[in-house]
Amino acid sequence: MNLQQLRYLREAVRRDLNLTSAALALHTSQPGLSKAIRELEDELGITIFVRHGKRLTHLTDAGRAVIVIVERILLEIDNLKRSSSDWHNAQVGELRIAATHTQARYSLPPAIARLRADYPEVTVRLHQGSPSQIVAMIRLGQVDLGIATEAIGQQADLDSEDLFSWYHCAVAMPSHPLCRLEKVDLKALSEHDLITYDPQFAGRAHIDRAFNEARLKPRIVLEATDSDVIKTYVRLGLGVGIVSELAISPEDESEGAPQRLVRLPIERPFARNTTRVAFLHGRILRRYEQALIEAMKY
Amino acid sequence: MNLQQLRYLREAVRRDLNLTSAALALHTSQPGLSKAIRELEDELGITIFVRHGKRLTHLTDAGRAVIVIVERILLEIDNLKRSSSDWHNAQVGELRIAATHTQARYSLPPAIARLRADYPEVTVRLHQGSPSQIVAMIRLGQVDLGIATEAIGQQADLDSEDLFSWYHCAVAMPSHPLCRLEKVDLKALSEHDLITYDPQFAGRAHIDRAFNEARLKPRIVLEATDSDVIKTYVRLGLGVGIVSELAISPEDESEGAPQRLVRLPIERPFARNTTRVAFLHGRILRRYEQALIEAMKY
DNA sequence: CTTGCTTACGAGACTCGTAATAATT
DNA sequence: AATTATTACGAGTCTCGTAAGCAAG
């Protein structure tokens, strides 16, 4: 048994039992991969894959049991490399982050700037996606850390940590009728056109829940995954935007700004959102990964 | 990096950084082992061992961090083999148990008989030792399961399970003066010669504690690691034995027996003892290992 | 008939053991 | 002087890629 075989096996499973595709991904030949897997099966004395003629169709029970352990082994091998690397040159490396747009655009920049200053030799790769895509990227080992607000604290195979909390706010153009009110409640909001996040994103669940509990049907005229897109449409006068307060900067609200946004005085805020960072369960974090996480907490 | 290197490294650490001894244990050549470790250090980019000329003197900080991960990897590799083996031939294998004498002699036999009946192809190897030796044997991978009453529930690097509980009892020859009492209390016991376990064994700590709390000084005239030895000396008339009730069989007490022992009516029993089974943290148990554990619970 | 796994085979790399070397205790 | 790690080197093994074969959709 050797690590190569385990890596091949994992990739084959990840690629839905397509050895050709797995071989391609691993920059090796398909026959070699095929052989390695058969040899592993022989040595362990089990069949991992059910074969129909010359196709791998699905995993056996034993295969499912084995793959779990193999994933753990390879995770620890990674930990070994990362941990070693931390001892001899803590400051060089690569950090792959997946985040939603809101995080990538508003909460990550200062943390990454800080990281770049403290660890100039670390390359940062930033991927964007929906929370479920982020989770998938972590699982497949395509990224090291995932940052999102939804769906990221409840995965059994991921470890996660709270970073910070924030609320939604409502913004409108100065000319909007709601800007004339002292207090804006849910009912008032529900009577105007609203623009907010796609249901998967940035705490949208909390927004829906609030309206639901008040037995109100909001008129959401536009959904986007992206705070900037929402702000743009608010500026076009399409409605009131409900966005993360992270996405509203002083410049957006300043008197002199050409397309000034006004933050509406919402009576009671939508439920608090907590942005979290997640990574593979059991993964040891490198020094700069921990530094980034600390830099994001406040 | 390969598994061989990791195995070599683990053995070198286990053998107190003596590569010659490690090579011997692994049935390989010492230069090969030396080379493998250097190559691993090179690849990881760290030095694991501090070298004084040509001696390995101690571990570096990085080495200590690395060895923990390496142990985990090799444990999972073992799990992989064991788990696979469970799928293709659950009934064959080897089961190495370390137990104290009392367990090996009194509580294990029925469970092992049952195991032999259910899994005739499983070879059982039984090792004896003190609780701390048992823990060491588990740690070094010399045995699969360890069974003892003391010192075995509180090791951070071992998983453990309760098996059953039992009390100490006091036995004497029929002619002994204590046999004439209706009730025997600690004070009465403390006025006679006592024979019991070595301080490391079979709940001896509870015995000492009981006397201590009653501010009595027991006259322990003989200590043994072994219930049978204690019974033998009781039969020789050297004193009252305080042994596990597991070690007293109906034959010992039967009227017709040549060297009959009498169980004294102790007023209040010594604290309850719980016998536990322990194994390496994170180890996956084979079917017959679980079966043995279940067979011992009652 | 295209896709995709397996078998066959050979060149090159690697492993591992022996012998020699060198540094500590 | 004895013990113990490292270096050198070569035989044997193993790995891995190419080419060919064959089963399934």
Chain C footprint positions (protein CB, under 7 Å): 3-8, 15-20, 22-25
Q: What is the predicted pLDDT for the residue at B66? A: 92
Q: What is the predicted pLDDT for the residue at A76? A: 95
Fold: same for B3-85 and B91-165+274-296:
no
CB B90 within 8 A of CB A107: no
Residue A69: pLDDT band (50, 70, 90) is very high
**Mean pLDDT for the stretch of residues A18-28:** 90
Return the half-sphere exposure (C-beta side, CA atoms, 13 A cut-off) of residue A188: 17
The sign one gets for the Cα dihedral B127, B130, B133, B137 is: positive
**Mean pLDDT for the stretch of residues A39-68:** 90
| Partner residue facing A77 (CB), from B73, B84, B89 | B73
Give me the residues of A, 253-292, that contact B with CB < 8 A.
284
Q: What is the predicted pLDDT for the residue at A97? A: 92
Of chain A, the percentage scoring pLDDT greater than 70 comes to: 100
Residue A229 has pLDDT above 90, yes or no: no
Residue A48: pLDDT band (50, 70, 90) is very high
What is the CATH number assigned to the segment(s) A91-165+274-296?
A: 3.40.190.10
Query: How high does pLDDT run on average in chain B?
Result: 88
Distance A276 CA to C1 C1' (A): 51
Residue A149: pLDDT band (50, 70, 90) is confident
Q: What is the predicted pLDDT for the residue at A291? A: 92
Residue A138: pLDDT band (50, 70, 90) is very high
CATH class belonging to B168-271: alpha beta
Question: CA triplet A66, A69, A71: central angle to 5 degrees?
Answer: 110
Q: What are the residue ranges spanned by the domains of chain B?
A: 3-85, 91-165+274-296, 168-271
Would you say the pTM of this structure is higher than 0.95?
Answer: no
CB contact under 8 A, B80 and A44: yes
CA distance B24 to B29: 7
CA distance B201 to A229: 72
Residue B149: pLDDT band (50, 70, 90) is confident
Q: Is the CB of B52 under 7 A from strand C?
A: yes
CATH topology of domain A3-85: Arc Repressor Mutant, subunit A (1.10.10)
Per DSSP, what are the bridge partners of residue A98?
A127, A146
Residue A161 has pLDDT above 90, yes or no: yes
User: CB burial class (10 A; 0-12, 13-18, 19+) of residue A221?
Assistant: middle
Residue A41: closest CA among chain B residues belongs to which residue? B84
pLDDT (tens digit per residue) in B237-268: 888 999 999 888 888 888 887 888 889 888 88
pLDDT (tens digit per residue) in B184-196: 888 888 888 888 8
CB contact under 8 A, A77 and B1: yes
CB contact under 8 A, B87 and A284: no
CB B161 within 8 A of CB B289: no
CB B80 within 8 A of CB A69: yes
- Give CA separation, B40 vs A84, B2, B54, in Å: 11, 9, 18
Q: How far is CA B21 from the centre of its chain?
A: 25
CB A69 within 8 A of CB B76: yes
